[in-house]
Structure 1
Amino acid sequence: MESQELRETLSQNLKKYRKIKGWSQFELAEKAEISEQTVNSIEGLRLWPSDKTLAKIANVLEVEMYRLFVPQKLTLQSEAISELKHAVVKTVENLVHDTLSDWENQ
């Protein structure tokens, strides 16, 4: 992954996780004890944060730091796989329940 792609991925994920929390840039900055300008500059691709700043951000967003660098496409794929697994488990549970019910009623 190129440097620019990494910056874009960080920016996109920072926005995504911030919006999941329902926070403005100011609220994230306040909770992470960094400046609003820092958050704005990271999201705007103008600043590469220090490891200390990244740790603060990840901590208040309640995500592991590496998740800030996972491309959206991969995140969406893993979420789709997780949803598919859940649907398969639910279907199997329903089939087992129905089969057991049929056996009990015989």
Structure 2
Amino acid sequence: MLAHVADKNTMAANTPIPNNPSTGRAWTRNELITELGVERKRNSDRASGIVSWSEQGSNVKARWLIHLKEWAILTHQVYELGRECRVFVETRLLASTSASLTRSN
């Protein structure tokens, strides 16, 4: 799973980006290309080309876990966005409104 990496100034969930299991570090371009070649070879070596029910089940489980992680990231980011909007309204908009009201009086 490739994920967008946010810098420190943007909202980011505390979910780590998955690492290469064999090295324990972030994937490099060459490692991804090599792994893609291995996966293609594994898929071409299948005798019938038909995916078994057990493989389909494990695929569905893996995809569901990815979905849950992405959903958790999304809900966290929406929560943080709401919090930042509330802080903005309370500090900047309300402060500027009250300052303009005191000037006009």
Q: TM-score range by the shorter chain?
A: 0.3 to 0.5
User: Given the two structures, how large is their TM-score scaled by the length of structure 1?
Assistant: 0.41
User: Given the two structures, how large is their TM-score scaled by the length of structure 2?
Assistant: 0.41
Who wins on radius of gyration, i.e. which is larger? 2
Of Structure 1 and Structure 2, the greater helix share is in: 1
